[in-house]
Structure 1
């Protein structure tokens, strides 16, 4: 992330930021299967009296595809630019532009979450 805030004139202010984020991660089936062989071990008590299907819900032997569903590979690029102008000592105006691009390189459970968003924000400030 890098940013700047400059004042080219006494009543004018400019600012900009640039940010890039990269994320990756995954869970491997063999890790959980060896660590927690049954649901009873993880929960530390026998849950079959509460619900006969409960051990199957927590037993990793019955969870298919955890390795595929846990893959994360995304990047995010953000850019902002803003300008402010002070009309008087107490009143100011500002205009800000925001750009965000999120790239999902491993879409899985909810599909491709990649998106691109642009927005503009107008601001009226009052100092007291």
Structure 2
């Protein structure tokens, strides 16, 4: 069996402080990942004829009690492929009212693209959120 996983991530971060009490930030991240299993060659341990595990097995010889066969694992290579891309973007602003109190707001954006929808179906998703916050130092 051969298993391979490959992931690459690229990021850019920027901050800007035009005033001592005012700050801006932005973060961009792109990740791509791939993985798969190949060369599965399990020999049949307990041949079950044409019967599959999810079918009616009433016609199978009762002297052959094992319906599970490791050879079924060979099918795993057909649905083991991973291929995705993820884009994350964040930007925000913060303002310090005093030495003890600050305000801020951040925007978050994530886009996930599943290019190999297999076991769980299409996993594509886009999420956006806006978060406001207050900081207090004491």
Normalising by the smaller structure, the TM-score range is 0.7 to 0.9
More strand by share: 2
Counterpart in 2 of 1:26?
36
CA offsets, 1:66-124, max 9 Å, x none? 12210111100000001000011100001000000000111001000010000000110
- Output the TM-score relative to the length of structure 1: 0.77
Counterpart in 2 of 1:111?
121
CA offsets, 1:5-51, max 9 Å, x none? 221111101111000000111111x2x32xx6477xxxxxxxxxxxx
Counterpart in 2 of 1:95?
105
Structure 1 alignment gaps of length 5 or more: 40-51
- The CA deviation at 1:63 is 2.5
- Output the TM-score relative to the length of structure 2: 0.72
CA RMSD of aligned residues (A): 1.9
How far apart in 1 are the matches of 2:79 and 2:67?
21
More helix by share: 1
Structure 2 alignment gaps of length 5 or more: 1-10, 46-64
How far apart in 1 are the matches of 2:122 and 2:94?
37
Matches within 5 A, 1:1-128: 1-28=11-38, 30=39, 32-33=40-41, 37=43, 53=66, 56=69, 59=70, 61-63=71-73, 65-128=75-138
